[in-house]
Structure 1
């Protein structure tokens, strides 16, 4: 009898030890080749972690309250030792999802997370951003703040209902007043907790996915449809991998991916079909970014396909923290994609910051509306007359290299419009070929060290 008791105890101990091993988040390293020094990326691996089905926590199809609470409880349980929160096949209506560390949100094939369009489902407010300025606003649909080792994976669909959000796309007087209010608070360094942008008609739309101040982030395999604002927004993050993601979002400000003030980022094997820029590298706006002092750096984009958008690669205009070491390679833009530029760097006299070491290689494109390369230093959009320039800081831009880039048609190859006080420096094009150019090949103002070579070495 005593032997049996000891045997049962031993079995229980071994099972417990096994369970512990099943609750460990591993971290793998990814070595990325780039024309600049870049450390190996660290990403989480949940293959040895427990799985937590949301139906075990009370999720019901069509019941937003039960499903939202079930996901939150599953996240809480999974986070204790590391775990995978499973969204099973079917459509699951939910409100905001707030991540915890050491959690993988996994959507099984044919699973749909359908996010409510009701702004009330994204309250209370969270610490977030609006176009490079920090504030408290509606929660992003999926929000992670200060998390480590997190992932969204699977072959399912993340979809936003747009019934209300699309009515917020216009910029009526109340919205413009909200923009002005936030700009002035940021310019005067009003504490972020005082910048509360909910409760008026400013209608600041939330991002779909925001990873805010996170480390070791993986987004892989899922499809994303519709978004109130920017689609994927890694903000002040380190070690981010976005892989095999399909984006379809044709609303206002629907950038595909906006890595902002983030470093060590890999974006690969993705398909972008959206209403704004495909990849927009940013580093904050004006005084907020000068305060945070966190440049966007070491970002690699490769093997991506773009079906629609404004630019293939945009840098700015929120770039006040600085942008350096960006490498895009082996990407394609389909014919008829309606892009303005393949590469567009934009800033203005309020931004400061800097842009340097931009490498774009092996790009194929159909006809584009404007040109292969655009650099403009006086881009202010609606802000030009809305608010004043509190402090004038120009943006040094240098070391921009485009190699083996082809397009079937464009108005120009490059248009560089810079200030006389601070010319753009060292722009080199090698093997850039446009079949039909309808205007001038180059439109340049205040450029030092521009060079175009017909051929390049393989």
Structure 2
């Protein structure tokens, strides 16, 4: 039997119906009644995933009045050359003033600078419509309150931005085109692979300055970048917003992170196609949010498909807000680093992350689950649950949990990583099943693998400094592994 996404998920659903669990993943794997071995560590079974059901009930997308405001009625022209920035501003303002509704973008190509959403507004990008974002950095000024790589500052406006708004959405079957590429935005990363040449401007000096400001406690109002600086803007960012929806659209050629809700509540991202392989082009980065549902999305991204974050270093400790209650389901994650990444910006803490019925893998994807942090970032990662996961191929490990990511063990804030439960996972090809590594004086805690199959691997797992690692019905290369080896504990 060929294990496609469709028959894998069909088998998973059939086997788990009515409280049963999958007995194995692969040909002739019988269904099996749930037992105590299926319990996530410390939960007794159902309570862990019961919280996912609570997230589903609690997180609801916004609803909008039937009023419609065509952007073309406010002066926009879909010819790809007319600057429609003011038309978008007027249409959104009129929709908001009327009590909310839909701002319709019809078929055509609409060139614009920054679009700022207001409460009650659904920006609906219709079939055949493309919003084409300007390549002129001045089109994203004045600078706005934002985050660059998880540190607060004033910088170029994200292309679609909302601050302290509620009931907002970007929907439709159309395309958001950021026009990033080796000619625009991407060279600022300072890498020749993305078009940078010696003598061209790049972001390293600004990034160093921002980190130094955060470390010294410089007030955010004084961390002003934007004009004359080279920190790339995010694509779509909702900052301190409530009740947010991104649905149906395709995101293409982003400057940097693509969908980035920050300090927001009740966020839904569904049926979105991310098609952008530039530098730091993460697909979706919920940061310090509460209540996020990501469903039925396709991620073809230049960095992590989904990266859950909670602030970085001194700035993360100042804001100190966790990211919690995140549900990811029925997504397809194809490229490039982690399919589901947690970190590396973990300072405010990350908890209650649920991933189910997802497919992952391509010749260009590195990791399946990728938890990455260190003692400079600090914080915590706890209560992470994966089940019914099908992985075709990975370049590196299926599961990587590493406290030595980036700066290693050079800080004063050792992170807490505990209660990671992975079950009903099948990986066809990877470098190794596991790379999990805590610190000698700060081990990882309570990691459980239940009913997991790793078929083709090149090397043994690396496992070091962990307190409580459990295998139940784990096979590697066709051989059962009942006692996980622990290599390199010190």
TM-score (norm 2): 0.81
The answer to whether the Cα contact below 8 Å between 2:190 and 2:202 also exists between their aligned partners in 1 is: no
The answer to whether the Cα contact below 8 Å between 1:64 and 1:95 also exists between their aligned partners in 2 is: no
Residue 158 of structure 2: SS of its match in structure 1?
coil
Q: Counterparts of 1:374-389 in structure 2 under 5 Å?
A: 374-380=400-406
The CA deviation at 1:167 is 2.0
- Name the counterpart of 1:268: 295
1:449 maps to which of 462, 468, 471: 468
The CA deviation at 1:137 is 0.6
**2:419 matches 1:415:** no
1:97 maps to which of 102, 106, 115: 115
Q: How many residue pairs end up in the alignment? A: 415
TM-score (norm 1): 0.87
The CA distance in 1 between the partners of 2:398 and 2:361, in whole Å, is 14
The CA distance in 1 between the partners of 2:125 and 2:86, in whole Å, is 17
* Greater CA drift, 178-187 or 296-305: 178-187
The answer to whether the Cα contact below 8 Å between 1:36 and 1:325 also exists between their aligned partners in 2 is: no
The CA distance in 1 between the partners of 2:271 and 2:431, in whole Å, is 32
The answer to whether the Cα contact below 8 Å between 1:90 and 1:111 also exists between their aligned partners in 2 is: yes
Structure number with higher relative contact order (C-alpha < 8 Å, ≥ 6 residues apart): 2
- Name the counterpart of 1:58: 75
The answer to whether the Cα contact below 8 Å between 2:335 and 2:362 also exists between their aligned partners in 1 is: no
Q: 1:262-292 CA deviation, whole Å, 9 max, x = no partner?
A: 1100000111111111000000001211121
Q: Counterparts of 1:17-96 in structure 2 under 5 Å?
A: 34-35=51-52, 38=55, 40-46=58-64, 48-62=65-79, 66-80=83-97, 81-96=99-114
Q: Counterparts of 1:265-344 in structure 2 under 5 Å?
A: 265-336=292-363, 338-344=364-370
The answer to whether the Cα contact below 8 Å between 1:64 and 1:94 also exists between their aligned partners in 2 is: no
Residue 127 of structure 1: SS of its match in structure 2?
strand
**2:218 matches 1:198:** no
The CA deviation at 1:174 is 5.7
The CA deviation at 1:450 is 0.5
The answer to whether the Cα contact below 8 Å between 1:34 and 1:300 also exists between their aligned partners in 2 is: no
The CA distance in 1 between the partners of 2:302 and 2:214, in whole Å, is 28
Q: Counterparts of 1:146-295 in structure 2 under 5 Å?
A: 146-162=164-180, 163-170=183-190, 175-201=203-229, 203-295=230-322
The CA deviation at 1:319 is 0.7
The CA deviation at 1:433 is 0.9
The CA deviation at 1:339 is 1.5
* Greater CA drift, 292-301 or 175-184: 175-184
The answer to whether the Cα contact below 8 Å between 1:140 and 1:207 also exists between their aligned partners in 2 is: yes
The alpha-carbon distance between structure 1 residues 155 and 63, as it changes in their structure 2 partners (threshold 3 A), is closer
Which consecutive unaligned segments of at least 5 residues does structure 2 have?
1-48, 192-197, 476-490
Two-structure CA RMSD over aligned residues (Å): 2.0
The CA deviation at 1:35 is 4.8
The CA deviation at 1:406 is 0.9
Residue 346 of structure 2: SS of its match in structure 1?
coil
The answer to whether the Cα contact below 8 Å between 1:54 and 1:71 also exists between their aligned partners in 2 is: yes
- Name the counterpart of 2:417: 397
The CA distance in 1 between the partners of 2:83 and 2:251, in whole Å, is 23
The answer to whether the Cα contact below 8 Å between 2:189 and 2:202 also exists between their aligned partners in 1 is: no
* Greater CA drift, 169-178 or 140-149: 169-178
The CA distance in 1 between the partners of 2:174 and 2:418, in whole Å, is 41
* Greater CA drift, 55-64 or 410-419: 55-64
The CA deviation at 1:455 is 6.3
The answer to whether the Cα contact below 8 Å between 2:259 and 2:285 also exists between their aligned partners in 1 is: yes
Residue 440 of structure 2: SS of its match in structure 1?
coil
The answer to whether the Cα contact below 8 Å between 2:141 and 2:227 also exists between their aligned partners in 1 is: no
Q: 1:407-438 CA deviation, whole Å, 9 max, x = no partner?
A: 11112111111111110000001111111111
Runs of 4+ that moved beyond 6 A: none
- Name the counterpart of 2:379: 353
Residue 43 of structure 1: SS of its match in structure 2?
coil
The answer to whether the Cα contact below 8 Å between 2:189 and 2:203 also exists between their aligned partners in 1 is: no
The answer to whether the Cα contact below 8 Å between 2:82 and 2:110 also exists between their aligned partners in 1 is: no
The CA distance in 2 between the partners of 1:285 and 1:141, in whole Å, is 23
The answer to whether the Cα contact below 8 Å between 1:258 and 1:281 also exists between their aligned partners in 2 is: yes
* Greater CA drift, 446-455 or 170-179: 170-179
- Name the counterpart of 1:370: 396
The CA distance in 2 between the partners of 1:334 and 1:378, in whole Å, is 24
The CA deviation at 1:340 is 1.3
The alpha-carbon distance between structure 1 residues 35 and 300, as it changes in their structure 2 partners (threshold 3 A), is closer
Residue 377 of structure 2: SS of its match in structure 1?
coil
